[in-house]
Amino acid sequence: MAKILTCISIQDGKVRRSSLEVLTRCRQLAAAGGHTLEAAIVDADAAAHLDTVKAYGPQTIYTVSHPVFRRHLNTPVLAALTAVIEHARPDVVAFASTEAVKDVLGALAVRVGAAALPDVSSFELVDGGVEALRPVMAAKMLARTEARAPRVLVSVRSGSYTAEEAPAGAAVEAIPFTFDEASLRQTLREVVTAAGGAVDLSEARVVVAAGRGVKDEAGKQLVERLAGVLGAAIGASRAVVESGLFPATAQIGQTGKVVSPDLYVAVGISGAIQHVAGMQNSRVIVAINKDPDAPIFKYATYGIVGDLYKILPVLAEELERVKA
C-alpha cells in the first residue's frame, strides 16, 4: 500500500481547478489500489481552503500557513513542501503543473531525495514507482516515461483529468512552520497579469482565441464582444501577438500558455502545431476559419467555414438574444 499526497495550488485566494483535477486522479488511484490519499495546502491562510479540498475526498489534509505565502517565493515554498513531505512520508507526491510548481519541482526533488516526472498528461502507479505519458515535440508526440524510486514527484498538465467531488471527512493537521522573512535574498516586486484580464486564461472554462484572420481593431472588438457574451478569457496565436494586436500574456501554445477550458473558440487560427500544443486539451473546440482545409478543423469538435467578420456579429447577436 502506498501513500499518495496531492499538493494543492492556490492562486488569487482560490484553489486552482487543475489541483482538484490532480486530486481527483489521485483519489481514483488510491481507491483502485487500496492506497492512502492525503493533501497539503501551503498558503497565507491555508485553513480557508479546507472545505473546497475536503470535497474531493483526501483522508488527511496538512496545512502550512504563513504570511510569507501571500506571494510565490520559491525559498519558503520549498521549505514548506519539504517540511510536509518529511512529516507525511508519501511515496508519490502529485502537483498541478503550474508556473509556481515548475519553479520548485527540481529543487524539491533534490531536497527530499525523490525522482521527478514533470508536466505529464497522464500517470499510473506501477510496481516500485510511477509511469507517465509526457507530451514532447510541441505535444506532437507522447513519450512514455517512468520513475522507479521510493519517492516520486509528478506534475500534471491542466485539463488532463476531470475534477469530480467525492466528499470525505478528512482529518486536518497543521504543520508548524516558522520563516524569517528578513532572511530572504529574493523579492517579488510585481506580478504582471493579462491586460484588463477579466477572466484568468489558464483557469478559464471558456476561451475565445484570435489568430491572424483577425486583422484589425474592428476584428479585435468582435472577438471581445463574443468573449464578453460567453464570459470567456481572450487568448491569441503568436501571429497576432507579434503584430501587436493582442498582448503577449494572451499567447497560447508551445511558447505561450497551456489552457484546458470546456469550450475553446478558435477565430481565424490555422492550427499550427505550436498553437495546438497549448489548447488541444480543451473539451469542446469550435473553429471559425474561411479555409475549409485549415488544420484546426482536424482538432475541432465543430467547424464553421466562413469569414469571421460576417460570422462573429451573427454569433454574438444570437447568443446575446438567448441570454437576454
Ligand X SMILES: Cc1cc2nc3c(=O)[nH]c(=O)nc-3n(C[C@H](O)[C@H](O)[C@H](O)COP(=O)(O)OP(=O)(O)OC[C@H]3O[C@@H](n4cnc5c(N)ncnc54)[C@H](O)[C@@H]3O)c2cc1C
DSSP state of 292: T
> Which of 122, 274, 299, 319 lies at the binding interface for ligand X (CB under 6 A)?
274
Half-sphere exposure of 15 (CA within 13 A, CB side): 25
> Which of 133, 172, 255, 319 lies at the binding interface for ligand X (CB under 6 A)?
255
Distance CA 178, CA 40 (A): 17
> Which of 90, 256, 261, 303 lies at the binding interface for ligand X (CB under 6 A)?
256
Kindly give, in sequence order, each residue whose CB lies less than 8 Å from that of residue 95, ignoring residues fewer than 6 positions away. Answer: 6, 7, 9, 19, 22, 101, 105, 153, 154, 155, 156
Rounded to the nearest whole angstrom, what is the least distance from the CB of residue 140 to ligand X in the complex?
Answer: 12
Q: Is 223 one of the binding residues for ligand X (CB under 6 A)?
A: no
Q: Which is nearer to ligand X, 14 or 310 (CB)?
A: 310
Rounded to the nearest whole angstrom, what is the least distance from the CB of residue 214 to ligand X in the complex?
Answer: 8
Encoded one letter per residue, x for contact with ligand X by CB under 6 A and - for no contact, window 234-253 reads: ---xxxx----------xxx
Rounded to the nearest whole angstrom, what is the least distance from the CB of residue 191 to ligand X in the complex?
Answer: 21
Q: Is 254 one of the binding residues for ligand X (CB under 6 A)?
A: yes
For residue 246, which amino acid is it?
F
Rg, C-alpha atoms of the chain: 21
Q: Is 294 one of the binding residues for ligand X (CB under 6 A)?
A: yes
DSSP state of 31: H
Q: Which is nearer to ligand X, 85 or 245 (CB)?
A: 245
Rounded to the nearest whole angstrom, what is the least distance from the CB of residue 135 to ligand X in the complex?
Answer: 13
Q: Which is nearer to ligand X, 114 or 232 (CB)?
A: 232
For residue 277, which amino acid is it?
A
Distance CA 306, CA 213 (A): 11
Instruction: Report in angstroms the alpha-carbon separations of 231 from 13, 110, 228.
Output: 20, 42, 5
> Which of 270, 280, 281, 282 lies at the binding interface for ligand X (CB under 6 A)?
270
Kindly give, in sequence order, each residue whose CB lies less than 8 Å from that of residue 213, ignoring residues fewer than 6 positions away. Answer: 219, 267, 268, 269, 289, 290, 308
> Which of 232, 269, 285, 286 lies at the binding interface for ligand X (CB under 6 A)?
269
**Residue with the CB atom nearest ligand X in the bound state:** 253
Distance CA 113, CA 124 (A): 21
Q: Which is nearer to ligand X, 104 or 269 (CB)?
A: 269
Q: Is 268 one of the binding residues for ligand X (CB under 6 A)?
A: yes
**Residues interacting with ligand X, by CB under 6 A?**
211-213, 237-240, 251-256, 268-270, 272, 274-275, 278, 288-291, 294, 307-309
